Structure 1
Amino acid sequence: MNTGSAASRAAAARAWEPVLDLAGPEGLDLGEQILAVAHQVAVGSLSAPLTDPGRPGQDKADLAHRLFHGRVDDRVVELLQALVRGRWSAPVDLISALHDLGIEAILTGARSAGTLEQVEQEIFGVSAALEHDRELRRALEPSRRSRGRDRVRLAQQVFGAHLTSSTMSLVVWCVRHRAEGGVPRNLRRVAELAARLQDRVVADVVSAVPLSDVQLGRLRALLVARLGTDVEINATLDPQVIGGLKVVVQDQVIDSTVRHRLEAVRSALAG
């Protein structure tokens, strides 16, 4: 999302934040509605007229009102109107902004209910389950051979009994939304937004064997000192790393695994 789109999203988000804070646990319902609006804008080819730079902002806001008034909460309509009054570099940027705002609304509702950390851990749990079950991961991925409602039904059957309603709503979005990187990337997007609401970042840590609580504590302290912010560690296992750790946080990769060192030696010998 470039500068123009980012500015429009930020302006609408600033106006939306106090509304969402007042909504409290209703954030779940508002977030689900925002994601539903994003879906309708995408499948109905509405993003182009709603972001047309040749149309006055109020004209686009009036169009948004005609399209969604009475179908969703008035607060959601007002948010969409605030968004479309801005300038967007590409129509898809509006849809992406709606996705982020919808996810953030669900997460903020969970924070108001005191369940945000639980939701974050459940998202990590779903990610781990898909990482270790290739067949399930493939079944949940959007494709021409599967229908969205069938994928959603499968996700609900597999995870519904184990997740809070907030987490399940987010997993449904992850399964329904097509994105580069598929469902795992969508889950990561949700986890990053959850961490941001708690003023911290997510560090993915891969090791061959489970790390002890002491080791995790030391690693977290090192990362906090290096990054200057609180860190949530998402630890996963991969026997193929052989030994050592691979840490991915934001755009940084720290790879001290034995596998990585062996690959470097092989490359040097081949060169």
Structure 2
Amino acid sequence: MRGEASRIADRTSRDSLAPRLREAGDDAWRIGNELFSITDLLDHSTHVERALTDPSRSLDDKKRLLTTLLGDQAHPLTMEILTDLAARRWSRSGDIANAVEDFGVDAFMYAADSAGSTLTVSVQLAELHSALLNLPVVRARLYDEKVPAQVRIRLLHTVLGGNNLDPIAMRLAEHATANLRNRRYLATIQWLINKFSRHMGESMVTVTTATPLTPEQIGRLSHIYSSRLGRAVHINSVVDATVLGGMRVQVGDEVTDNTVVAQLQQLRRKVRVSA
């Protein structure tokens, strides 16, 4: 968990620079990629993390370090964000990498806003999360540190098959396995879904069924979960014939699985225990 100083630094910096990111338009894609690259660099260099968060070093000294790391190729707003973060006080040095990653995700959310694809990205991430729930071996490979990042990314593309994700959804899905950051793959995807949901001012409710939901069913589910959560929701309907029947509902990290296949699995476990 981040200490109080880090939480304040992260929130103050992002609140201050959010308008600039929002106005970046198409450049937000480039900025997000640069910030993800810096996140990876910081994760693999505690020396740089400490240098950028050392309160005894002057900001000018930190700027020179950033210029050495980034050269003159980085987007000016990327440099401005990193300089702003370096000027803040942090509870521990590793927290600055978390803040850089947060900014990177923010940049991609604003890029999605600019492209008019914010809801599409959120839905596609939710569908990916739902699809991987029943693939534990694949999930384990996607966050296996012993497997090279490029191999993990190829595995992700294989899992997706011919499904053409929005470029931003694909980049975020790739980031989740390329930059593991000591997290499980589904935990990172859920974190991204939650961020997009908050960004849109609503919650994502993913409902998996064997056949498509009718508009009436979607309307009833929307009413039920809006009342339960106290805010607007978006019903993401996922069709998966392998569930056979029933319904699996996921809201954030909470999953309620009343599908036929889940009930059969539970019955098998009971039979094994009683045997």
Say yes or no: TM over 0.5: yes
1:138 is displaced (CA, Å) by: 3.0
When the two structures are superposed, what TM-score results if normalisation uses the length of structure 2?
0.79
Instruction: Show the counterpart of 1:37.
Output: 38
Alignment pair present for 1:120 and 2:133 = no
Q: Are the counterparts in 1 of residues 26 and 114 from structure 2 also a CA contact under 8 Å?
A: yes
Within 2, Cα distance between the matches of 1:73 and 1:211?
45
Partner residue of 1:176 out of 175, 178, 184: 178
1:61-76 matched pairs, under 5 angstroms: 61-76=63-78
Within 2, Cα distance between the matches of 1:75 and 1:154?
33
Q: Are the counterparts in 1 of residues 43 and 181 from structure 2 also a CA contact under 8 Å?
A: no
Instruction: Show the counterpart of 1:55.
Output: 57
Instruction: Show the counterpart of 2:131.
Output: 129
Moved more, 172-181 or 78-87: 172-181
For 1:41, the aligned partner's letter is: L
Alignment pair present for 1:5 and 2:6 = yes
TM superposition outliers: structure 1 runs of 4+ over 4 Å: 204-212, 234-240, 242-247, 253-260
Q: Residue 167 of structure 1: SS of its match in structure 2?
A: helix
Q: Residue 233 of structure 1: SS of its match in structure 2?
A: strand
Partner residue of 1:94 out of 90, 93, 96: 96
Instruction: Show the counterpart of 1:16.
Output: 17
Q: Are the counterparts in 2 of residues 62 and 81 from structure 1 also a CA contact under 8 Å?
A: no
Alignment pair present for 1:159 and 2:160 = yes
Sequence identity percentage: 23
Within 2, Cα distance between the matches of 1:160 and 1:51?
42
Instruction: Show the counterpart of 2:229.
Output: 227
Instruction: Show the counterpart of 1:269.
Output: none
Please give the per-residue CA displacement for 1:108-143, whole angstroms capped at 9, x wherever unaligned: 101111111111122122222322333432332232
Partner residue of 2:79 out of 74, 77, 80: 77
Q: Residue 116 of structure 2: SS of its match in structure 1?
A: coil
Q: Are the counterparts in 1 of residues 207 and 247 from structure 2 also a CA contact under 8 Å?
A: no
For 1:190, the aligned partner's letter is: L
Q: Are the counterparts in 2 of residues 31 and 103 from structure 1 also a CA contact under 8 Å?
A: yes
Residues 179, 185 of structure 1: alpha-carbon distance in 2 compared, 3 angstrom cutoff: farther
Moved more, 121-130 or 205-214: 205-214
Q: Are the counterparts in 2 of residues 65 and 81 from structure 1 also a CA contact under 8 Å?
A: no
Please give the per-residue CA displacement for 1:201-260, whole angstroms capped at 9, x wherever unaligned: 2345577987544333222222223333222335667999x968765447xx59696999
Residues 160, 203 of structure 1: alpha-carbon distance in 2 compared, 3 angstrom cutoff: same
Residues 204, 77 of structure 1: alpha-carbon distance in 2 compared, 3 angstrom cutoff: same
For 1:77, the aligned partner's letter is: M
Residues 202, 167 of structure 1: alpha-carbon distance in 2 compared, 3 angstrom cutoff: same
Q: Are the counterparts in 1 of residues 6 and 90 from structure 2 also a CA contact under 8 Å?
A: yes
Moved more, 18-27 or 56-65: 56-65
1:190 is displaced (CA, Å) by: 1.3
Within 2, Cα distance between the matches of 1:247 and 1:32?
29
Q: Are the counterparts in 2 of residues 28 and 107 from structure 1 also a CA contact under 8 Å?
A: no
Gaps of 5+ in 1: 267-271
For 2:23, the aligned partner's letter is: L
Instruction: Show the counterpart of 1:216.
Output: 218
For 2:55, the aligned partner's letter is: P
Please give the per-residue CA displacement for 1:152-199, whole angstroms capped at 9, x wherever unaligned: 233235438511221111111011122455111111111111112211
For 1:136, the aligned partner's letter is: V
Instruction: Show the counterpart of 2:273.
Output: none
